[in-house]
Amino acid sequence: MAPDTKKHAANCWTKGNEALERENWDYAIEQYTTAVKFDPETSVYRASLRGSQCRKYNNNKKGASLAGIRTKSMRIKIKGLRRKEDWKGVDALAEEGLRLNPWDAGLNADMAEACNMLGFKQAAIFGYVTAIENDRDNVDLHRRLAYLYEERGEYSDAITHWKVICRLNPHDSEARSKITQVEASAVVDRGGYEKADTTLDVRTGYDFDGPSASDRSSDGDSPGDSIEADLQHAIRKDPAELDNYIKLGEWYRRSNRLDEAAEMFDQALQVSGGDINVREQLEDVELLILRRNWRLAKEKAAEHPDDEEARPQAAAIGSELLNREIEVKSSRVDRHPNDNRLKYELAMCYMQVAKWDQSIPLLQQASADTRIEANVAVALGRCFLKVKKTDLARRQYEKAIKEMSAVEKPDEFKVIHYQLGRIYEEAGEVEKAENHYNEVLSVDYEYRDTLERLERLQAGGGS
């Protein structure tokens, strides 16, 4: 960013502070908004803006009159911009909506996501923290913030949010696994180097953003010069100490050296005598390797459309990945029978290979988790349609529609209303079918053949 631009942003921020002291909220908001536009990375400008907006509404926690209705169209537009990956547009529109209600958790999260994608990490953290303050039990928000903290090397904060997720959902297997992983990353923290006056002061742990040339092991490395070399030396010194294998495996994983990570976790598994937690970490890395290989194969097939072998190879790797995911998640469901989210994930894998009868009981059990109840109902509706249980499908879709908003989940909203329209159309209940098709068209006028079906019904045509 040009120095003049940053200077202009700072000047606007100063003017905003002066206006705030005079309780001239509108002018303060105007100046802070300009500061954010000129310098969107600086989180203090966002914080000042949000604070002035809250004071304008006398901290009423709900913003302007009818703010929810007035921001409805903005939310729909944000969904479209997100699909186009227009993150600057998402940020701008979210900020526009927050002028009406600065406490809106969804809009704060939209702003945070946009900032994260644009590389404005501190502003993203501010957005997620603000969103959580207004929606404390939202597991998804805690998850996003935990990942962001981990990415920035703020491990203690990341662990805090993973623990919150465990408290909100004791059966969340990812949260349990991430606590172990992030604690290992906290040990592999270069702060042990940076905070020491000499390498002799280093005891445990380093922080890193990825391996530099000096981080690579070599015969000439001295203690404290290389994370990798130090951990390898520790393993040679005490081959029975499991913790060092796990630290090095996690270091390789975070450095995207996945094959070496898999090898290290495999060694850790042998040293541990088959410890199930180590096995799960190895499985996670193996899945990452398959996903990487699948992505590379798909890219190759797209870049070389004339290569007759490229597309089948990509399909074969994708099939291998899905089968491995089913294998891993099946064993984890057996080990964690109360983890309903894991059952939902396994059911979704089974649905990809059209194993509807295996998906249905898993989804029925997963429906006990109220946080994913609506998503489960949508999946169950699809499964019941596939096995020709239309009435059961209708019940699930009608259950899901009560929890589904065209603003928050436009894609699911359209699917449910479209399927209900089809079900009622085939049952000869024309009025109900028309109502559901109209709901679809109110969100997406070109969705599939909805318009054609509605016009045929209105013209008195049959299914």
Question: What is d(CA 14, CA 51) in angstroms, rounded to the nearest whole number?
Answer: 15
Sign of the CA dihedral with 229 first, then 233, 239, and 241 last: negative
Which numeric CATH code is attached to 3-135? 1.25.40.10
Contact 343, 365 (CB under 8 A): yes
- The number of C-alpha atoms within 13 Å of 151 and in the hemisphere containing its C-beta is 14
CA 235 to chain centroid, in Å, comes to: 35
Ramachandran angles phi, psi of 367, nearest 5°? -65, -15
- In this prediction, residue 187 carries a pLDDT of 65
Question: What is d(CA 360, CA 376) in angstroms, rounded to the nearest whole number?
Answer: 10
The token pair that represents 165 in the structure block: 């997720």
Sign of the CA dihedral with 444 first, then 445, 448, and 453 last: positive
DSSP, res 448: T
Ramachandran angles phi, psi of 84, nearest 5°? -85, -5
- The number of C-alpha atoms within 13 Å of 215 and in the hemisphere containing its C-beta is 17
Collect the ranges in the chain with pLDDT lower than 50: 190-224
419-451 burial, b if ≥16 CB within 10 A, otherwise e?
A: bbbbbbbeeeebeebbebbebbbebbeebeebe
Question: What is d(CA 425, CA 431) in angstroms, rounded to the nearest whole number?
Answer: 9
> CB neighbours of 375 closer than 8 A, spacing ≥ 6?
344, 400, 412
Question: What is d(CA 55, CA 320) in angstroms, rounded to the nearest whole number?
Answer: 56
- In this prediction, residue 217 carries a pLDDT of 41
**DSSP 3-state of 320:** helix
Closest residue by Cα to residue 180 from 270, 266, 275, 274: 275
Question: What is d(CA 198, CA 168) in angstroms, rounded to the nearest whole number?
Answer: 43
- In this prediction, residue 210 carries a pLDDT of 41
The token pair that represents 146 in the structure block: 């935990």
H helix runs in 273-409, sequence order: 276-303, 310-335, 340-352, 356-366, 373-386, 390-401
For residues 413, 419, 425, 430, the Cα torsion angle rounded to the nearest 10 degrees is -10
For residues 26, 29, 33, 35, the Cα torsion angle rounded to the nearest 10 degrees is 120
pLDDT digits (tens, 9 = 90+) for 219-257: 444 444 578 888 899 999 999 888 889 889 988 888 889
Contact 95, 33 (CB under 8 A): yes
- In this prediction, residue 359 carries a pLDDT of 95
Length of the chain: 463
**DSSP 3-state of 374:** helix
Amino acid at residue number 329: K
CB atoms within 10 A of CB 314: 20
- In this prediction, residue 188 carries a pLDDT of 60
The pTM score is 0.54
Closest residue by Cα to residue 87 from 110, 71, 107: 110
pLDDT digits (tens, 9 = 90+) for 168-217: 888 888 888 888 788 777 766 544 433 333 333 333 333 333 444 334 44
- In this prediction, residue 194 carries a pLDDT of 34
CB atoms within 10 A of CB 131: 27
